[in-house]
Structure 1
Amino acid sequence: MSKVKRFILVCLVLSVVANGYAQEHQPVDTIKANEFIARAATLLKSNETDKSIQSAREGLTVSKKNFYLAGEARSNQLLGEAYAKKKDYSESLKAYLSALKAFELLKQDNRMINTYTAIGILYQQQQAYTQAIKYFEQALKKSDDRNSKMNELLLEDIAHSYIQLENYQQAIQYKTRLLNIYLEQKNTDKVIETYKELSSLCEVTRQYRLAQRYNTELASIYGKRNDLGGLSSAHNNLGFISKRNDDLKTSSEYFTKVVELVNEQPKNLSESDKAILYTNVGVAYTNLKQYTRAKESYTIALKIREHQKNETEIANVDNYIASNYYVSGNTSRALKAVNEAIKLGEANHAEEVLVTSYKILSLIHDKDNNPAKAQVYLEKHKALKDKLSKEAKERKEKMLQRQLLIEKNEEEIRTLLADQEREALESERKENQLKLQENEIKLKAKELAILKRDQELKAIEYKNQQLEKERTEQALTLAQQQLEAEKRNRELDMLAKAKELQEQKLKQKMLEEEKQKKTIQLLESDKKLKDEQLKNSYWISGLFVLVIGIIAVSLIQKRKANRLLQQQQTEIKEKNEALLQNMEELRAAQDILSEQNDQLEIQHQKITHSIRYAERIQRSVLPADSMMNKLFPEHFILYLPKDIVSGDFYWAAQKDKRRILAIVDCTGHGVPGAFMSIVGSNTLNELVNEKHVTEPAQILNQLHEGIRHKLSQVESQNHDGMDIGICSLDQHEDGSFRLMFAAAKQTLFVMRKGELLELDGDRKSIGGANAGDVRDFSTKELVLEKGDILYFTTDGFIDQNSPDRVRFNKKRLKSLIEEIYQQPIEVQRSNFENTLASHQQGAEQRDDITVIGVKL
């Protein structure tokens, strides 16, 4: 096929493909959908919920119509928020689940985190705490280290949900995680609040040592802040914990400390803090059996609460006073105080207060030897306690029932969404099938058009060949005619010259005849005039000599003219023969050249096909994408061979829990480099996967020996080899990583906590005829944290020239890494590729290029 024909056919095919692509990938009209979505968000902020729902649904409809997935996701998210405000939890959940699925497809992690959190809050509002925890934990897992504030809120929500489920041990775990965050942030208020919560949870679960530790920490913080109310509470708690552990001496010491705080109180202490302080001091005095002082402290606390008109707190203080009187033996005063507490408790429905009051009253009557009344109030105490316990149990049962109903509702919603999705997919499948059939018909029509055009092109080409043949024949005919015309012209010239010679001969003959006549006349005259002949004999002799000379000269000239004419005829004949031979040789040369071009084209196609097949073989040797994603979930690879196949390759493996990654630059590029890459990859597989060598420096030492042996470099004086960087990663239990790195003429760049480090390898290569059998490579080690990034690169990247022959160089590479390392890993790959293209600007690629980034 001629170059003209191939060019026209390629243009036609590209035109067909472009038209098909344009029809199948129409640009999505997002403007209208985004307008509805923006309006819905504004209305929701203004609490115009119904209007917001309407606008969000319109945005959803437009987005679905235009296959605008991001618009569908955002519309559903707004619908979820709006329905949640209306407390229509079922519709809200349906919208949130639809939004969540779309965000998963779009890989928008932040929006997924927000949606998981919103669903968790939705369940929390319905007291379905188990489901709430499920979604909060999914949000926390997705959030990771992206947003510390979001992590705090999620941990708080999870801990709160576990407390509501009375799963205090899990609550303690999440509160402990929160405590570590607040300690790191030095957020003292949050630290105090969390210590208090942990102390209460540990007391409930009878973990008194932990409770003691947390109260000790609280006491230390309160002391530094001069918070006497908090300090007294912490010391009281420590006193009671010591008492429970039968450490009465330590208990007494803590209660004494509480008493001493009264004299240290500042003048500006608030009334509520004073009430707490004096109540705690009263408790301390009671435990120290200083009942009078205890009464004085309770009395001060009581007056403060009466001044605040807080009847529930007044009843609480009355209970403390009654207890103090009871243990001191003054039952009449105790009776009066507890009756005051019961009166206020019943008036304010303070059942928690009344449970304590009835118990105290039962003990008082029992001490006064009035068992009947003691029994009455003991039964009241038990009844109220049972009532509170029953209510708590009923709440728990209702919570469980609600949980089951909600879980069932979620399953129904998920089933409904799945059915809707299946219906939509089936509808889309049918629509796509129709489109496919239409496209097949169009494609067949285009194929027929291409075939028809191909036939036309063949006809045109045949016609061109015929025209070319005719033009050649015409040129040959014209040349022949020109030769014949020139020959005729020469013959005419020769005839003219021959005629001229004949005329000259006739003239000469006539002259000779005339001369002969004159001679005869002279002879006759001679007879008559002998005397005159004698006198003129000298003149006659001279004249005769002159005539003979003229005749001789004429004959010589005639012979010269004949020889010249014959010579010219011979030259013309030779030139005609040479011209015909040249034209034959020219036609033969054109035929040979055309045949050689066809052979060269066929050979080029065969070579290109072979190299393409070699490329597939080489890529099959590289680690599979699934393997790389499993070993290094966050990574990118920029792999740009110079000549289809590459002398660069990368390699990865896992042995036990150790992950190993290598990047290799073999001698040369193209086919020779590709052969070396196969040898290198196979040798690495043998060393790591079969011989179980996993330490980087040892791998390089044995790789050097293996390459020299396989290439018989000592005998063959083969100098091929490779530059390689290889590292191993071991993850510790605390989440940190141990990195070991060894290299032959390569550098590893490490971005650790915002600082760019360079780990340089040894300045010696792998392999080579004069390298010796043994190498001793060194290993470098680093401890890395989650989020640190490793960058491997062969020298093709930094050695690439611009059109002005300026190298990219290592300094620019380091600047590029420092500029983009905080971006998502896949975006970093695009930045590497775009920066290289911007530097290259069409300049020829000098070498194979490979860059790998791995985020830990």
Structure 2
Amino acid sequence: MCKKHFLVFLTFIVFLLQNIGAQTFADKSFYLIDSLDLKTLTEKDKVLIDTLLQEYHESKEDTSKLNCLNVLISECDNEIWVQYNNLLITKSKQLINKESKNIYKKHLASGYNNYGFYYYNNDNITKAISNFEKAIQLSVEIDDLAVIPTALNNLGYIFKQQGDVLKALEYYHRSLKINRELNEQEEVALSLNNIGSIYYYQKEYEKAINYYRDALMIEKEHGSKKGVARLYSNIGSIYKEQNKNTLAIDYFNQSIKIYTEIGYSKGIATSLSKKASIELSELNGENDVKTLNQILTKHKQAYEIFNELDDNEGRAYSMCNISLTLEALKDFTGAKKYAEKSFRIAKEIGYPESIKSAANILKNIAVIKKDFEEAYLMQELFYQMQDSISSESVKEVTIQKQYQYEYQKKFIKDSLATAEAEKIKDLKYNQEIKQQQTYVLVGFIGLLLMGIVALVIYRGYRLKKKSNYQLEEKNKLIEEKNKEITDSITYAKRIQEAILPANSLLNKHLIDGFVLYKPKDIVAGDFYWMHPLENDTVLIAVADCTGHGVPGAMVSVVCHHALNRSVREYNLTEPGLILDKTREFVIDTFAQNNEFNVRDGMDIAICAINYKNQTVQFSGANNPLYILSTNNNTISSLPISCKIEEGYNTVLYEIKGDKQPIGSYTNELSPFKTHTISIHKNDMIYLFTDGYADQFGGEKGKKLKYKTFKKLLMLNCTQKMDDQKNLLNKFFNEWKGDMEQVDDVCVLGIKI
């Protein structure tokens, strides 16, 4: 080659390399890291990085610079965040070496936690655990709780996947405790979800679903759509295991809908696979090739998503499902191929649950192919993985006792150390006193003063003894009077209970229903009432009389008697007319003595339920009627004022009563309206007083309110009526906590 041509060629190469470099990599002096190709960033990530790095360069404070890096790392979707995390850790360590401030250590702990997350996603579990533990150790050292619960949650998940169930449960509960202290509601929901997953894998489905539901309520109020979708998917998994396939598919569909809205592909893949697995189980061994191929397509779609995300756990899970579908299609060669791939990945990442599933499929295929040696080996491996997941629960009581012993041992040790310190302190004090006693005059005056004080104390002791004796006598008298009053009120309770409907009457006419009755005091102002009519009709009412305790109970007797007279003496059956006549009796009763202006009465909701015609006649004095329908039935003949709310696969109809009580509160009394509503089989009717919704409690000591009460009814409407009662009672007690019950509570539910 001639020299001229060589120089032209060399110039071209240099020009080309310069242009490639200029087009590919961003300016390191601004972007701080090597080899950043801006073309690989989404517009969102580009704006985020530019904005935060501009603030980084303009800031003069090191703390502000570290804050900018931390926000960039947490918000950036592109994996370039790992390089910025390297920078965060490097700068934090440099600043700590210059000046050991806690704020620098806090950022370093955050960097370790981010590394743990990165290594976990790349299946380097050992490094993931190491970095999470470093984050916790450093946070404990500086007494900062912010990073600790997240790291504990991540460690718990790793230990659960490794089959160390007890350790996972311990980490989840530690995370839950700290998040509650920090009032991080979204993180509390995540911890509850994770604890629920432990019970799910232990097949304790009732415990699991309780944790999932608690988490779901928090996510809906404080959390994210992603969290709500995750819990819908998990609750669906429980219904799948309980063979409640219709409910399970419904929850999976809700999950897929939300995941699709927010564009979370991993969640879509997981819920899609679960839904397809139910469709496979419902075939019951039928060789429906068309349906099986549709199911296979769904599992392969899920696999493609997990493959794009480079998610080995998802790959193993989806390949297991593909293998099961191919087995149903009698394609045993294909089934074995996918099962072996799933088995290989599961062993690499060390997840017993995935190994167990793959081993079970391989065992079934080996039996079909009459390879009994292989079948035996896979069956043994299946049992081994099963034991690694569930056997820890057998050890749980022993380990808890060990924890208790270690705690008590530490407590005793600490107590002895404290006592020893107090003893040394007393000795030093006595030595100082002895030195001071060398001054004779001071000592003499001290003795004299002590004598005077002793006389005063003795005289005070005698007087106090006398006073205590007199006080004791008065207390005895008060206790006797108090016992007499309490005995009287307790007897009054027996009288009040006698006027309530007998259990035999309730069981006869409320075939599927419940009554939650919780008086605030021994006797109550709330009561419930029933009167059977002809033609398969029954009158039912729930009333709230003025006040509670003894005054409320006295008013309740008057109002109860007035209701009975209206029906038995005047043969009234229409709820509105019954309330008109009851009001007349109550006003007359309290108006007999003109010296006292008694304005007491009651709020009430009353229904006439015709089981045969499936109609409800309702009238109310200040109190409403709730009707819940779960069958997508349209309820007809609703009043204009009816309020309708939808959610949790149910519809709640609120029919309001008239805004006037039973009693004398104005000179103009309007007749009570009667509303007639057509209902359907399995619809639910609820009558109640205001005591449940008015209860104060919760973390902030606020009112429970009707919004939460409605949500509880809608959320639990698929449960049996007795279970609904227990769930309402449990939630009320947990909400109230250590606070005083503010009013009587009465809730009556009926399923048609």
From the CA coordinates, give the structure whose radius of gyration is larger: 1
Which structure carries more relative contact order (alpha carbon 8 Å, separation 6+)? 2
Q: State the TM-score bracket (shorter-chain normalisation).
A: 0.3 to 0.5
Report the TM-score, using the length of structure 1 for normalisation.
0.31
TM-score by length of 2: 0.35
In terms of fraction of residues, the more helix-rich structure is 1
